[in-house]
Amino acid sequence: MKRHRWSKHRSGAAIGFAWAVLLLLLPGCTGQNPGSEPISKPHHVVRLEYWTPFSGGDNQFMTEMVERFNKEHPEIQVVQKNSRLDDYYSRLKTAVLSGNAPDVAIVHSTIMPQFVQNGYVEKLTMEAKDLGIDWKRFNPNILRSVLYEDDYYGVPLDTHALVMYYNKDWLSEAGVLDEAGRPIIQKGPDGFKSFLEQIRRRVPADIAPLAQPSTRIDSVWLWWSLYNQLTDGGQFYSEDGTEAVFNNPAALKALSFVNDLYKDKLIPSDINDAFQLFYDGKAAVLITGMWGTGAFEKAEGLQFGVVPVPTIYDYPAVWGDSHNLSIPKKRGMTEEKREAVLTFANWIVGHGDMWAEAGHVPSMTELTRSEMFNRLEYRSDYAATANYVAYWPRNAKQWSINERIISEFERMIYGYQTPEEALDAAVKKINADLRK
Amino acid sequence: MIKQLRRGIQWLKNLKLAQKLILINSVLIVIPLGALGVYAFSSFRGTMEANVGESQLQTMKQITLNIDTYMEELNRLSLMPYQYQDILDYLASERKPGSSLSLEEISLLNNFVSKVFLNGRIDIMGVSLYGSKGASYVVMPESQYVTSYKLDEDAEWLKEAQGHFGEPIFLTTHELKPTSGSVYEVFSIVRELRSFDSGQTIGYIVLDVDPAVVGTILAQVQLGRNESLYITNAAGDIVISKGSVVPGADGAAASFRGEGVTHLETNGERMLVSYATSELTQWTTVGAVPVSELMQDSVQVRNSIMIMGMVCIGSAMLFSVFTAYRITLPIRKLSRLMKKVEKGQLEVTFPVNQWDEVGQLGSAFNKMVSRLSELGYLLYETEIREKDAQIAALQSKINPHFLYNTLGSISMYAELEGSKEITTMTNNLSRILRYSLNAHQSGVVLKDEIEHIRSYMAIQKLRYDERLHFTLDIAAEAMDCAVIPLMIQPIVENSFKHGLDKGVGEGRISLAGGIQDGLLRLTVEDDGIGLTTAQLEHIRRQLAYSRDLGGETGNGLLNVHRRLVLCYGERYGLTIDSMPYRGVRVTLTIPAKPIPSHRETEAAAVFHSTS
């Protein structure tokens, strides 16, 4: 009897023990939320947001480069975000002001002063040196555009300047193509005009002799190039930089020439997308940035050539700008990200030959001298352009000042005002802006 | 069946006690613990699956909500044209596709589109404005605006957008191919723009959005390694997906409406599928994870339960085995001792350390063994004595008839010769012989014994003649008491030895007897040399303690005493009193057991004789 009771007691104890074990066990398990458990532990990846303003057919080349960089650098993931140039700086400025700027952004040399002056981009000197960015390897003309005092504020990617594309089929039909496939243009403004007139006479009416959009900055670029070709031209600001002074005869001369092209319908009116027009073979000549080369090469049935913008006046000069990779200032910037950005920038400029395929002139001298680059058709034809590029003057407000000029020129092209009035209006408005 | 059961029960019964205990304990431990484990695990598994399903559904709802938040913004953005009457006017205007715009229109549209692009936190990739009368303004990434698009009246999306009362519709991911050559993946929101005044449709606005945002929302969610996470529109087409999709009946992605959790079997794998449909976009977010993956944790739990269970059961079993053996240890020892006793080894003792049942059993066993050994000894002694008596009888039996005949002849001759003494002596001798040789027979009463003594004394009378004075005084009621044969003769012989043979005293020997208090008491007295105190002590001690039978040379008194003790018990036997030179008195005490049906029917007579 006693024995039986004892055994009962013991099995009771065993069950109690089992309960205790289970109770201890269960919460430990239910506590593991299956969702919270990292299912696969990816190695640490630095994610970089990269903003670009490429809208001229060159973006596909940048996308390719970014993809290749990501493939070669599994520890860095660059996410490119491209917007049209029209909105790009509004977007970037807003982002900078609202504290959610990208980790790396393309900043044009023209707008760089504004970013530098207000401390919107980081100095690169120290960090770049540590990462093996050798400033001596860059084209000094290009490098100057990111050098402020003794500090660099961006890694120059390229120079892009205006060049002249021409449709070989239409030019040969017009009889202005030589045997080497180069356009035959007589010297001086009249020479250039007669070159276009010759084309207009020979090609079908729906083919633009010279394609230039009637809005936007293109006409300003052309004017700036021609203005800089004049011996007494190129002056934008007064010596002390406090006011704009381009309402002078030389500027008027250049602008009148441009205006005449529109007025004489050598540039057809109401062209929206000149690039597309040339791409589609609907234009004989196109003066635009060198970024179009890569895209035109891909255009089916387009036989085109490219030369530097002709020297219509006294000496060669052409509008140009540079793309630079800069680090916008923001709170969340870490040393790790900064390093990754510079690694990326170094890689991108080091692979300038890839970028050159889009049409730009790489910023590294060794690349422009390289066989690779020179083997590329067309690019070598205009690589020298980089040496006489006429940058916009360094002014913190240059970008918005250009906007003023654009809108005045647009009004001129649409016939609302004369070139003289356009220049005066622009200078007046710009001076008002400068006094602010 | 029943046979087997019976056999099983028998097998159980035949098991050793310790084994039985272990077996019972095992059953008592394993069954409840096992049942508990199975129950706990299955209920845990069920709860877990339900919880996971619920949380997955919540995740789907959260995704839907996040996407809806985004879409709501897009929705608002698509309302922007209503805030710009100029835009509405432009769209309502009659135009040929591709006709050029005025500078003001360009500026207006460009401003508007820029505002759309820059507004909000949404990455708009393309904005398209279509007027129902031919106006259009389409901006795609990497290209300038285009005004040459003509509204395709047959486009699916257009039909879908019509009659929606101005509510937007969401188009799934499709490709956008601007002139630059790049291809963009976008999804779009389409809204029909109507005039409040006329109620007519003015046109449409289409916003193309990078699906990366929705992709990011999806990417933030990780359901499992082999998850399927995707969004389908109302028609069941994939909007965006992450991982594989759950194939439906027709091979395309399985689509669901509403919200809920369900199970699907795909490619032989059971999937937990949860889904939630957005009211805004009518898109359904579907998430599916293989149940096996979700239950991976539960497998761990099961293993832990099993391991813990094993450990518990193992330790409980060890403990059980230990205690079972410990408890049955004394029983097994007892059993071993019993086997020894069975073999006749009686010098064993069970060490009693505890006073439980086993202790009591052991103590009882000890008592039993000691009693057994005592009884064994007594039996042994009786047997030996019996044997001795028999041998003696056999010896004396040597041709008794010859002796009787010879004695008869002697008696006859003596009578013829006239020798009366010889006749008496031979007749008495013959009687003594006859009694002695038949002494082993049972049912001897005192009368027979007295007859025998009388004969014996008659012979001795002839031998000792005048020196012997024998008196006999026995109560008549004692004559029928059962006695052991030949029990008095050794006492009388002893009296001769000590009384007459030593030549001291007058040679008086008296035999008296009677029943007193249920005891038959016989007294033999002599007036011989008697015993010294030391001798008396020695004899008394011998009577009390010695188990020695005395043998042939031994004391006749001792022999009689042992026989009486063996026959009647320790309380009975002989007692001796003596005084030096005053004689010896031996008293014989046995229980008085009269045998009424005595074959001798003669009335009891008082023997009285004086010689």
The dihedral formed by the CA atoms of A412, A417, A420 and A423, expressed in degrees to the nearest 10: -60
Confidence class for position B554, pLDDT limits 50, 70, 90: low
Identify residue B227 by its one-letter amino acid code.
E
Nearest to B576 by CA among B507, B502, B464, B490: B490
pLDDT of residue B603: 42
A26 neighbourhood in chain B, CB within 8 Å: 40, 44, 301
B76–chain A nearest CA distance, Å? 20
Rounded to an integer, the average pLDDT of B448-462 is: 88
Q: Would residue A336 count as lying in a domain?
A: yes
- Same domain for A147 and A197, yes or no, is no
Note the pLDDT tens digit of each residue in B567-611: 888 888 888 888 888 888 999 999 988 886 544 444 444 444 444
pLDDT at residue number A34 = 40
Is the pLDDT assigned to residue A275 strictly greater than 70? yes
Looking at residue B398, its pLDDT comes to 58
pLDDT higher than threshold 50 for residue B3 = yes
In terms of pTM, does the model score above 0.90? Answer: no
pLDDT of residue B160: 75
Same domain for A168 and A307, yes or no, is: yes
Looking at residue A9, its pLDDT comes to 44
How confident is residue A1, by pLDDT bands cut at 50, 70 and 90? Answer: very low
Name which of A131-135, A229-233, B54-58 the model is least confident about. A131-135
Domain range enclosing A306: 161-320+397-435
Same-domain pairing of A168 and A263: yes
Give pLDDT, residue B56: 87
From chain B, pick out residues whose CB is under 8 angstroms from the CB of A39: 222, 224-225
Q: Tell me the per-residue pLDDT of B262-313, one tens digit each, with 9 for 90 and over.
A: 888 877 788 888 889 988 888 888 888 888 887 777 788 888 888 888 898 8
Q: pLDDT per residue over A356-397, tens digit each? A: 888 888 888 888 888 888 888 888 888 888 788 899 999 889
Question: For residue B265, what pLDDT is reported?
Answer: 80
What percentage of residues in chain B have a pLDDT greater than 70?
91
Residue A224 has pLDDT above 80, yes or no: yes
What pLDDT, on a 0 to 100 scale, did the predictor assign at position A15? 44
Average pLDDT over residues A300-307: 92
Q: Which residue in chain B has the smallest CA separation from A80? A: B212
Q: ∠ CA(B115), CA(B118), CA(B120), 5° rounding? A: 105
Can you tell me the mean pLDDT for B486-510? 82
Which of A 377-416 lie inside 8 A of B, CB atoms? 410-411, 414, 416
Cα(first)–Cα(last) distance of chain B, in Å? 93
Query: Taking Cα atoms as reference points, which of A325, A388, A376, A398 lies closest to residue A65?
Result: A325
Kindly state the average pLDDT of the residues A90-112.
91
Q: Does A278 contact chain B (CB < 8 Å)?
A: no
Say which residue, B161 or A89, is predicted with more confidence: A89
Query: How many angstroms separate the CA atoms of B77 and B190, rounded?
Result: 11
- Residue A259: predicted pLDDT: 96
Mean pLDDT for chain B overall: 82
A114 near A397, Cβ under 8 Å?
yes
- Among B225, B214, B150, residue whose Cα is nearest residue B187: B214
B395 by DSSP, 3-state: which? Answer: helix
Residues A174 and A299 in one domain: yes
| pLDDT at position B371 | 87
- pLDDT tens per residue across span B377-419: 888 888 888 777 777 766 665 566 777 788 888 888 888 888 8
pLDDT at A10: 42
Whether residue A40 lies inside any domain: the answer is no
Give the type of residue at B396.
S
Residues in chain B within 8 Å Cβ distance of A92:
none
Check residue A344 and give its pLDDT. 94
**CB-nearest partner of B24 from A7, A37, A91:** A7
| Residue A38 resides in a domain | no
Distance, in Å, from the CA atom of B144 to the CA atom of A86, rounded to the nearest integer, reads 10
Across the range A261-284, mean pLDDT stands at 91
Interface of B with A in 196-235 (CB under 8 A): 222-225
Q: Is the dihedral of CA A264, A265, A267, A272 positive or negative?
A: positive
Please determine, for residue A303, whether its predicted confidence score (pLDDT) is greater than 90: yes
ipTM of the complex: 0.76
Query: Could you give the angle at the alpha carbon of A16 between the alpha carbons of A13 and A22, nearest 5°?
Result: 145
> Is it the case that residue A255 has pLDDT exceeding 90?
yes
Instruction: State the smallest CA–CA distance between residue A74 and chain B in angstroms.
Output: 18
Tell me: pLDDT of A322 over 70: yes
What mean pLDDT is reported for chain A? 86
Do the domain assignments include residue A8? no
Domain match, A133 and A232 both: no
Buried b (16+ CB within 10 A) or exposed e, A120-144: bbbbbeebbeebebebeebbebbbe
Tally of helices (H runs) and strands (E runs) in chain A:
19, 14
Read off the pLDDT of residues B198-237 as tens digits, 9 standing for 90 and up.
Answer: 888 888 999 988 888 788 888 888 877 778 888 888 887 8
Give the confidence band of A31 by pLDDT, cuts at 50, 70, 90.
very low
User: How large is the angle between the packed helices A218-229 and A249-263, nearest 10 degrees?
Assistant: 130
What pLDDT is stored for residue B548 in this prediction?
Answer: 60
Is residue A67 located within the same domain as residue A86? yes
Task: Write the CATH number for A121.
Answer: 3.40.190.10
Cα–Cα distance measured from residue A52 to residue A59, given in angstroms and rounded to the nearest whole number: 8
Q: Are residues A97 and A167 in the same domain?
A: no
Mutate to test the interface with A, among B142, B242, B272 (most CBs of A within 10 A): B142
Q: Which pLDDT score is estimated for A49?
A: 93
Residues A311 and A327 reside in one and the same domain:
no
When mean pLDDT is compared across A319-323, B175-179, B436-440, the lowest value belongs to: B436-440
Average pLDDT estimate for A253-276? 92
Give residue B251's pLDDT: 58
| Percentage of residues of chain A with pLDDT beyond 70 | 89
Q: What is the mean pLDDT of residues B451-457?
A: 89
Domain shared by A183 and A284, yes or no: yes
Of all residues in chain B, the one with the smallest CA distance to A64 is B182
Residue of B33, B101, B123 to mutate, interface with A, max A Cβ within 10 Å: B33
- Using pLDDT thresholds of 50, 70 and 90, give the confidence band for residue A41: very low
A366 shares its domain with A223? no
Asked if residue A16 is part of any domain, the answer here is no
- B344: region left, alpha or beta (phi > 0 left; psi from -120 to 50 alpha): left
> Which range is least confidently modeled, A305-309, A353-357, B551-555?
B551-555
- Structural domains of chain B, ranges and CATH numbers in brackets: 78-215 (3.30.450.20), 468-610 (3.30.565.10)
Residues B522-541, mean pLDDT to the nearest whole number = 87
Does residue A37 lie within any of the structural domains?
no
Q: Is residue A30 part of a domain?
A: no
pLDDT score of B249: 58
Do A221 and A287 reside in the same domain of the chain? Answer: yes
User: According to the model, what pLDDT value does residue B461 have?
Assistant: 85
Least confident of A25-39, B17-31, B227-241: A25-39
Least Cα separation, residue B111 to chain A (angstroms): 10
Looking at the predicted structure, is the pLDDT value of residue A184 above 90? yes
Q: Based on the structure, what is the number of domains in chain A?
A: 2
Q: Higher confidence at residue B17 or residue A425? A: A425
The residue-averaged pLDDT of A175-180 equals 92
Within a domain: residue A253?
yes
pLDDT-wise least confident of B147-151, B213-217, B433-437, B438-442:
B438-442
Could you say which of B36, B103, B180 has the minimum Cβ distance to residue A414? Answer: B103
Q: Which residue has the tokens 């895209």?
A: A295
Best probe of the B interface among A2, A17, A21, A409, by most B CBs < 10 A, is A21
Q: Do A229 and A356 reside in the same domain of the chain?
A: no
Averaged pLDDT, B63-91: 89
**Whole-number Cα distances in Å, B247 to A261, A393, B57, B266:** 62, 62, 19, 7
Res A167 pLDDT > 90: yes
Judged against a pLDDT cut of 70, whether residue A249 lies above it is answered with yes
| Segment 318-357 of chain B within 8 Å of chain A by CB | 319-320, 323, 327, 356-357
pLDDT of residue A43: 66
Written as six digits, the tokens of A354 are: 């890839």
Q: Are B285 and B221 in contact (CB under 8 A)?
A: no
Which pLDDT value is given to residue B120?
Answer: 59
